[in-house]
Structure 1
Amino acid sequence: MKITAVIPAYNEEKTIGSVVLGARQHALRVIVVDDGSRDKTAELAKLAGAQVLVHPQNLGKGAALKTGFQAAKDSDIIITMDSDGQHEADEIPRLLEPLLKGDADVVNGSRYLNGNGDHETPAYRRVGQNVLDTATNISGKINVTDSQSGFRAFAGHTIPLFRFHSHDYTIESEMLIEAAKAGLRIVEVEISATYGEETHHKKNPISHGVSVLVRILQDMEFNRPLYYFTFPGLILVFVGMILGLKFFGEYLGGQMTTLLPTTLAALITILGTFMAFTGLILHSVSRMIWRVMGK
């Protein structure tokens, strides 16, 4: 069985060698995608026995994974790992097991399954992680405990299903959402994580979390427009019409009505109508796009 490890890397000369050597114990091939590193990441990865693909400039983790998946498209299984040494290569068999048994199409390594790992993660990171997990779960209609994990395993037949629209760290959530929409079986297994020293090239965790959340919300709006536009719009139309009928009834009864309440009722009705039709249009457009993409 052809198992390939895909490792995106950016300025990880301190750890890439040991990560590659560990992955080689369980994978027939190890592909390191050097995403525009300014240090010796590529050289050390080659010395450790990896096939190295180089981006001339930093394009982001999503772009690096896309390059790696394209190079590994003939694999039976693809494993993804982070290049900073936080993942234990000895836990790769744990990710492979559900795939080999035929119980899963995608295996997500979770640092927080069964409540484990919480004490090792700074509180502010865990709060942000919970927000991202919730948003990812809502968007994909799934139930994962670690949506930002980079330690995963994918069955070979899933490779063509991933589009890699995101070029940055939002790719973690995107891949889970795409897997869910494609009807793939997602299974989580418990993993450990070792956090080293934060370095200057790592993205600020707050800006990272915000960018991921914004991308997920955009995806939710596009993929579930009826839920986020049409249904709320219909509620507003209903409220506006009730208010309008109330004021109209008062007018027929000879009561004085002021301009503000009637204007408010009209605006609510107009806004609701606009939202409802926007949702219907987006729903039609998204379905057309999914058909064209073969989803």
Structure 2
Amino acid sequence: MKRNSVILIPALNPDKELIQYIQELKRNGFDDIIVVNDGSSAEYLDIFERAKQMDCKVLQHAVNLGKGRALKNGFNEFLNLYQDNPDISGIITVDSDGQHAVKDVIQIDDWWKKNKCAELLLGSRNFKLAGVPFKSRAGNQITSKVYRLLYGIQIRDTQTGLRGIPKELVAGYLQIRGERFEYEMEMLIESAVRGIPVREISIQTIYKNQNTGSHFRPFEDSVLIYRLILSGCFRYWKTSLKRKIRKEK
């Protein structure tokens, strides 16, 4: 059964298991897959060549530009290829390190079949489980609390890379700021500012080798994320006030 979603995988020096993951996606009906090589080292190029041979669309960054830029370039390619395709509902982003089970990717695709809603879908992990790395648990819980305090919106997993973006929302997210991991937080801020509903779908919590394969820079990327959260809240308060005034009129 052919699925209605395009898969987007940003990748930097991916494990060879990425090929097995792509094969599993293909077996489950995800025929349209975009892979972004975000400046990987030469020894990883054979992985991207194999992805091409499997009919994936592979985009190439000559140097590492960051996850945010990889996602945006993937969104741009999605719009160029699928914007006018009535059979495609949206794009699903997944990480290249095996953290997102294919069954959970299917959950996102199935949601669009049952609900024709312009919502940002988040695959949310359970950080209370044993085996979750402390830095991942603590970082996500703190960010979630700060986001709720400033924006009044409860999101359990603000840093998940498994996201479903309906086709009608992709162009808007393509135009926002953020080049590295902070871009995914900017998507949540933009959703709050524009009044876009955000829905969380519970997914399997997978951490391989205590998440040692992550390219997240704890200090530098955290600074970028919290800078965005603090600066974005003023835009949110301003638009929220305008919406309130319009309703009262």
Q: TM-score, normalised by structure 2?
A: 0.80
Q: Bigger CA drift: 92-101 or 68-77?
A: 92-101
Give the corresponding residue for 2:59: 53
Q: What is the one-letter code of the residue matched to 1:64? A: A
Query: Runs of 4 or more off by more than 4 Å in structure 1?
Result: 198-201
Q: Is the 8 A contact 2:4 2:109 kept in 1?
A: no
Give the corresponding residue for 1:178: 190
Give the corresponding residue for 1:81: 94
Q: Is the 8 A contact 1:11 1:37 kept in 2?
A: yes
Give the corresponding residue for 1:22: 24
Q: How many residues align?
A: 226
Are 1:142 and 2:153 matched, yes or no? Answer: yes
Deviations 1:107-133 (A, max 9, x none): 110002xxx653231233312211111
Query: What is the deviation of 1:136?
Result: 2.8
Measure the CA separation in 1 of the matches of 2:59 and 2:239.
Answer: 42
Query: What is the deviation of 1:206?
Result: 4.4
Q: Is the 8 A contact 2:5 2:109 kept in 1?
A: no
Query: What is the deviation of 1:77?
Result: 1.2
Deviations 1:148-177 (A, max 9, x none): 000011111111211231000011111122
Query: What is the deviation of 1:181?
Result: 2.1
Q: Which has the larger radius of gyration?
A: 1
Question: What is the percentage of aligned positions where both structures have the same residue?
Answer: 28
Q: Is the 8 A contact 2:35 2:57 kept in 1?
A: yes
Measure the CA separation in 2 of the matches of 1:94 and 1:20.
Answer: 17
Within the candidate set 199, 203, 220, 2:216 is matched to 203
Give the corresponding residue for 2:39: 36
Q: Is the 8 A contact 1:61 1:168 kept in 2?
A: yes
Query: Structure 1's 172 and 118: CA in aligned 2 closer, same or farther, altered over 3 A?
Result: farther
Q: What is the one-letter code of the residue matched to 2:134? A: A
User: What SS does structure 2 have at the residue aligned with 1:164?
Assistant: coil
Are 1:71 and 2:77 matched, yes or no? Answer: yes
Query: What is the deviation of 1:145?
Result: 0.4
Query: What is the deviation of 1:221?
Result: 4.2
User: What SS does structure 2 have at the residue aligned with 1:118?
Assistant: coil
Query: What is the deviation of 1:42?
Result: 2.0
Give the corresponding residue for 1:99: 112
Task: Report which of the two has the higher share of helix.
Answer: 1
* RMSD of equivalent CA atoms: 2.6
Q: What is the one-letter code of the residue matched to 1:132? A: T
Q: TM-score, normalised by structure 1?
A: 0.68
Deviations 1:64-107 (A, max 9, x none): 00011111122421100001111101222212233322255211
Q: What is the one-letter code of the residue matched to 1:65? A: L
Q: What is the one-letter code of the residue matched to 1:96? A: D
Within the candidate set 207, 211, 228, 1:215 is matched to 228
Deviations 1:187-220 (A, max 9, x none): 1110113222355772333443333222222222
Query: Structure 1's 205 and 15: CA in aligned 2 closer, same or farther, altered over 3 A?
Result: farther
User: What SS does structure 1 have at the residue aligned with 2:130?
Assistant: helix
Give the corresponding residue for 2:247: none
Show structure 1 runs of 5+ residues with no match.
228-282, 285-295
Measure the CA separation in 2 of the matches of 1:125 and 1:131.
Answer: 10
Are 1:133 and 2:136 matched, yes or no? Answer: no
Give the corresponding residue for 2:7: 5
User: What SS does structure 2 have at the residue aligned with 1:136?
Assistant: helix
Are 1:166 and 2:178 matched, yes or no? Answer: yes
Q: Is the 8 A contact 2:121 2:164 kept in 1?
A: yes
Query: What is the deviation of 1:44?
Result: 3.1
Query: Structure 1's 139 and 110: CA in aligned 2 closer, same or farther, altered over 3 A?
Result: same
Q: Is the 8 A contact 2:189 2:229 kept in 1?
A: no
